[in-house]
Chains A and B, each alone.
Chain A
């Protein structure tokens, strides 16, 4: 067997900034590339696919818990036809959704708006994640300072002495 580093020695100890942070850099790269690859369109969708995509975000006006893409109710068919006509005329999905919301109200749309009070649905989770990560980083830094910044044995001894002093001293003679 070849010689390995003792268990108490950190794996990247002595390799400097690059060595200690390399795993994090690699992790960030993997996450970034995965997100980019997952979000990138693989091909240009056909008109039918675009109609279905937009209709999937629209509630069927006369149904319960069905999207306009999934229902064959007359109003859902009409919504799909309106979406198709709008896309053929060069309108964006947002313009078509805005037209529908101007008739039925915003609750016809299944995706909450990104602005205003309802936009908090999108913003709060991101803010929460950022705050949580910041809190974790702060807590880790504090714990590391607490562990490496003093002599625990001495602190423990002081604590014991204080506790003993409060309780009236030890039963026997102690140096």
Chain B
């Protein structure tokens, strides 16, 4: 049987095909928009990290003044692991807030990790701000890499079980201080 396509036959058929293609494209576009629109927004002051809910990477070594430092030895306390550098402007801004937080909450332990900084500059920076917590050098940036740090200042809150519960990108301001205090008081913005 011969099959001859005529303009009279092909026009409605082509129109139907176009409608089907348009509907398929429309459905895909709608699904794409729905996926983007329903994504969880990142909370202000806290950042997403694959480490959240995971055991905190170990920090073991000597502090800038030669004392032994071990994150594992601080289990049972909340620990704030703070990545900083003396050349970093926001680190200068956050230091007074951190010092005040540490003084107000003796149960909160702070460990500083110098990011791409010399030991002399880093310890001088901490001393000038009145920081009394230990800080370690990270000459090959291995600690920074194991925490997923991109640039200072970044801080990670580790709970008494040794799990990372919060990642804070940027300097710690009063809002973030309150957020950390929520964790310390048992509330936490989990």
A150 touches B2 (CB 8 A): yes
A103 touches B140 (CB 8 A): no
Per-position binary interface string of chain B over residues 30-52, scored 1 when its CB falls under 8 Å from any chain A CB and 0 otherwise: 00000000000000000011110
A62-B151, A105-B50 given; A155·B4 CB < 8 A: yes
A75 touches B147 (CB 8 A): no
B4 touches A75 (CB 8 A): no
Q: How far is the CA of A104 from the CA of B145 in the complex (A)?
A: 8
Shortest CB-to-CB span from B59 to chain A, Å, is: 14
Q: What DSSP secondary structure best describes chain A's contact surface?
A: helix
Q: What DSSP secondary structure best describes chain B's contact surface?
A: loop
CB closest residue in chain A, given B151: A62
Residues of B within 8 A of A151 (CB): 2
Q: How far is the CA of A151 from the CA of B2 in the complex (A)?
A: 8
Interfacial residues of chain A within 119-155, with CB under 8 A of chain B in the complex = 142, 145-146, 149-152, 155
Interfacial residues of chain B within 134-172, with CB under 8 A of chain A in the complex = 140-142, 144-151
A61-B150, A146-B2, A146-B3 given; A78·B145 CB < 8 A: yes
Q: How far is the CA of A151 from the CA of B145 in the complex (A)?
A: 75
Q: How far is the CA of A22 from the CA of B4 in the complex (A)?
A: 32
A104 touches B142 (CB 8 A): no
B50 touches A149 (CB 8 A): no
B141 touches A78 (CB 8 A): yes
State how many residues of chain A have any CB contact under 8 Å with chain B. 24
**Which of B140, B144, B148 is packed against the most chain A CB atoms within 10 Å?**
B148
B3 touches A78 (CB 8 A): no
A74-B116, A82-B142, A103-B50 given; A149·B149 CB < 8 A: no
Residues of B within 8 A of A102 (CB): 50-51, 54
B146 touches A81 (CB 8 A): no
A62-B150, A78-B140 given; A145·B3 CB < 8 A: yes
CB closest residue in chain B, given A76: B141
A146-B3, A149-B3, A155-B4 given; A75·B50 CB < 8 A: no
A149-B2, A151-B2 given; A105·B148 CB < 8 A: yes
A150-B4, A155-B2 given; A75·B49 CB < 8 A: no
A79 located at the interface, meaning its Cβ lies under 8 Å from any Cβ of chain B in the complex: yes
B141 touches A74 (CB 8 A): yes
**Which of A61, A101, A146, A149 is packed against the most chain B CB atoms within 10 Å?**
A61
> What is B's interface to A at a CB cutoff of 8 Å?
1-6, 48-51, 54, 115-116, 140-142, 144-151
Given A82-B145, A150-B2, 20 more pairs with CB closer than 8 A? A61-B149, A62-B150, A74-B115, A74-B141, A78-B140, A78-B142, A78-B144, A78-B145, A81-B140, A81-B142, A102-B54, A103-B145, A103-B146, A105-B49, A146-B5, A149-B2, A150-B1, A150-B3, A152-B4, A155-B4
| 23 examples of A-B residue contacts, CB within 8 angstroms | A61-B145, A61-B148, A61-B149, A74-B141, A75-B141, A75-B149, A75-B150, A78-B141, A81-B140, A81-B142, A82-B145, A100-B145, A101-B50, A102-B50, A102-B51, A103-B145, A103-B146, A104-B148, A105-B148, A150-B2, A150-B3, A150-B4, A152-B4
